[in-house]
Amino acid sequence: MLALIGFHYYSRQPFDAATQDSVHLTPEKPKYPGGLWHIEGTGSEQIVATGLYHENITDSELSFRVIVDEPDYEQNDRLDVTAMYGLERHALLVQPLGAATAIDGRCLVFPNTLQHKIEPFELGDPTMPGLRKIPAFFLVDPTKTIPSTSVIPPQQKERLQELMNPLTEGTTVPFDAVKDQLAELPGGE
């Protein structure tokens, strides 16, 4: 069983973002194999909690784990580390936290410090198609400034070319040289 510790925003309103995901199952494809371990968003997005609402599905599990630090141990003392902490050599340093049941018509909210994954599930009635809708709501820490386009430069190649044109006009730098450099950027040609 997972317990969440709340925190107070006092006078600041939390910001939320939403996405919609869905899993379509049919009699020909009646099973969902499960998802991958992940944490929502990126560090710069400052997501503090995730809420998932499930509708028109049979109950399924959402598993959780957390990254742990490597314990202190004497060099080459792998047997004791394995016996004491259950950590195998070259294994991921994660601690399983269990799972929560996603129940139809309820919202499951958890802190974004936990890695999570959707466990396999299948159609309740294998003769009928089914749909698992997963609207996800992300609560963003209102005490943190979220980078926006006012501080992040444009990422699109075309926009960078527009910005570079005035800089190369009237100079000896050929635009083709600038274009070659732009091609080296992610998303370049």
- CATH of residue 73's domain is 2.60.120
Residue 163 and residue 91 in one domain = no
111 domain-assigned: yes
pLDDT given for residue 152 in this prediction: 73
pLDDT given for residue 115 in this prediction: 92
21 domain-assigned: yes
Whether 2 and 62 have beta carbons less than 8 Å apart is answered as no
Residue 90 and residue 173 in one domain = no
Measured CA to CA in angstroms, residue 42 lies from 24, 45, 48, 147 at distances of: 27, 5, 11, 12
Residue 162 and residue 76 in one domain = no
pLDDT given for residue 5 in this prediction: 40
Residue 94 and residue 25 in one domain = yes
Residue 112 and residue 33 in one domain = yes
Q: Could you tell me the residue range of the domain that residue 25 belongs to?
A: 15-140
Whether 108 and 61 have beta carbons less than 8 Å apart is answered as no
Residue 135 and residue 160 in one domain = no
Mean pLDDT of successive 10-residue stretches along the chain, which has 189 residues: 43 65 85 90 77 76 89 74 75 88 82 90 83 74 73 72 73 70 64
Residue 76 and residue 117 in one domain = yes
Residue 33 and residue 126 in one domain = yes
Residue 126 and residue 33 in one domain = yes
Residue 183 and residue 128 in one domain = no
pLDDT given for residue 2 in this prediction: 40
1 domain-assigned: no
The pTM of the full predicted model, rounded to 2 decimals, is: 0.61
- Say how many domains are in the chain: 2
7 domain-assigned: no
pLDDT given for residue 7 in this prediction: 45
